[in-house]
Structure 1
């Protein structure tokens, strides 16, 4: 099971995205130059990502016996970057986030462009409208690039793509709903983790690639046994970075999740492990700008951070053990991704 390196595959995905957008520009040329800035914003937004979802799609393809050099798989896997871009643009808008990957979020960028050009209307509403439309465009592009990859679109592969899109929206809704509640338990927070991230980032991309290569039900089930603990560990690491990450590396302000009032597993653990006074502090300070330092200290002091780090290690071991049930050579493909997903600084 020989495959290009992860970096080589990322480069091929970048090229596939560029090729696809070049075709889109030709389709839209008759609409005039007003669309240039809009299309460029989509391209800029997906530039520089980790490409984890395409990498997991390729991993599923390889584990199921797909040709490692089939260029069609690159285009099919690249489509997941548009889906991710769509989710993140909308996520930033819902969270009222100012930055993404060290740059202004889409709604803030177009809000600033509106204000700088002294255009008619409300800059904030303009930025929000553009973000909704750009997210919708990228969702459409995900479907189109996948369809145009040239690979046979089996009913099973299409089912997994549909599940990927549906589950991430359902997970996002569960996350939005959690923010309306005064507190969220660990079990509920982990349900958000599973549907917003674990299935969408790891399981369904693995399934999609494997289905494209003709995997049977037994292999799909074995991939799930790897994917769910790995995807949960990935999101828990994201939660830790959202509170303790280096802004210069993550591209987001330190403690952003705390300012946004995210009911993450870290927060649920802190409430579970803390005192009544700690829970009062959580209720008062979560979702405020001034409470970040106090809450960061609380997460460490209650043992929440240590507990979540232990959860990540446990889930890593579970995913690693599940690799043994996969076909020979699968560990060589998936083990580096396991480490990339959970032992990262951004």
Structure 2
């Protein structure tokens, strides 16, 4: 992660506090695995590896929203907020383990994905059965373990808090988990649909963006922090008004980086989203523009190439050129700007005190002005 972004997340030792909570969960998992069987040790190693590379943006949005709504550093509720941040990070780890299997991604944050690591170990040790199935199965179970740990972290976070605060916070977390799971399914469905009306394609793409990423990346963490501070419904509504457009901008930036980003920075090969057939707003806009221009060759190239797992570097370059040449990249950049303008206007409308207000603004910039 760029240093500027890291400095925002590191303010007031937030990262250290969240990392300490995560380390306790990994240690608990490692001990449980040790007691059950020595063969289970690689599971704790894989969870630890996945957690080590996180940006901690979700945890930071949660913490600084808590501060914005009256939270005081060092008081009895700070540790629960840090634990809630750890719960968000564990949930993200669970989603990434599963997402990598579903997309058959080869790398994550510059390292081999878990299902490939376990499959390679299967081959190297001469085990029986299909290495690919073993790797996929292990990664699915890793996601399940991280999901169980996230629930445990959230339960520990709210234990001892006033009952209305605990219920409100847990409700946010439960809704978030359900939405992301449904969003993953919608993503799968979208990739199976034939290309049709460009407006319908973009509608599906934005449904996926909101359910799978936007709300859980920004909106729900901000709302969760406010709920942990005991914020009222009006304050919660203000958080949602900030979080949703900012979360959409966050994911749209991710979509651009998936095509135009530097692999040495993003940690993923360029063009993976194109090979996987991701039905992004970017691709939908390119098809809409090519159709409007009557560029049949561009339409054919996009509909054939997006979703082709055998797409080579030249094919990726051709599609990337089309995304730029049709004006789709410029349109998505403009959409990001519009969403950010909306989000920052909503921040201005909130009566958030300093230093929370300034830090949340810095976090918002870090979420959308990034290279990874």
- The TM-score by the shorter chain falls in which range? over 0.9
Distance 1:151 1:255, change over 3 A: farther
Secondary structure of the corresponding residue to residue 179 of structure 1: helix
- Give the superposition deviation at 1:151: 5.2
Q: Residue 4 of structure 2 aligns with which residue?
A: none
2:218 matched to 1:202? yes
1:98 to 83, 95, 106: 106
Q: How does 1:1-346 map to 2 (within 5 A)?
A: 6-7=9-10, 8-69=13-74, 70-149=78-157, 150=159, 152=161, 154-183=166-195, 185-274=201-290, 275-288=295-308, 289-290=311-312, 291-329=315-353, 330-346=356-372
Deviation sequence 1:180-212 (CA, Å, 0-9, x none): 012252222111111111111111111111111
Secondary structure of the corresponding residue to residue 192 of structure 2: coil
Deviation sequence 1:76-115 (CA, Å, 0-9, x none): 2111111000101110100011110111111001000000
- For structure 1, the 5+ residue unaligned runs are none
Q: Distance in 1 between matches of 2:338 and 2:142?
A: 38
Q: Residue 3 of structure 2 aligns with which residue?
A: none
Q: Distance in 2 between matches of 1:316 and 1:140?
A: 34
Range with bigger deviation, 126-135 or 176-185: 176-185
Deviation sequence 1:36-81 (CA, Å, 0-9, x none): 1111111111112111111111122112111233223111211111
Q: TM-score, normalised by structure 1?
A: 0.96
Tell me if the contact between 1:72 and 1:151 (Cα under 8 Å) persists in the aligned partners. no
Range with bigger deviation, 113-122 or 24-33: 24-33
Q: Distance in 2 between matches of 1:25 and 1:254?
A: 35
Q: Distance in 1 between matches of 2:352 and 2:168?
A: 24
Q: Distance in 2 between matches of 1:143 and 1:14?
A: 17
Range with bigger deviation, 39-48 or 241-250: 39-48
Tell me if the contact between 2:9 and 2:57 (Cα under 8 Å) persists in the aligned partners. no
Q: Distance in 1 between matches of 2:240 and 2:84?
A: 20
Tell me if the contact between 2:8 and 2:362 (Cα under 8 Å) persists in the aligned partners. no
Q: Distance in 2 between matches of 1:189 and 1:118?
A: 42
Distance 1:268 1:140, change over 3 A: same
Question: Once superposed, what is the RMSD of the aligned Cα atoms?
Answer: 1.4
Tell me if the contact between 1:82 and 1:138 (Cα under 8 Å) persists in the aligned partners. yes
- Give the superposition deviation at 1:5: 5.3
- Give the superposition deviation at 1:154: 1.8
Tell me if the contact between 1:151 and 1:212 (Cα under 8 Å) persists in the aligned partners. no
Q: Distance in 1 between matches of 2:346 and 2:272?
A: 34
Moved over 6 A (4+): none
Tell me if the contact between 2:119 and 2:135 (Cα under 8 Å) persists in the aligned partners. yes
Q: Distance in 2 between matches of 1:29 and 1:185?
A: 48
- Give the superposition deviation at 1:29: 3.0
Q: TM-score, normalised by structure 2?
A: 0.89
Secondary structure of the corresponding residue to residue 225 of structure 2: helix
- For structure 2, the 5+ residue unaligned runs are 1-6
Q: Distance in 2 between matches of 1:15 and 1:9?
A: 10
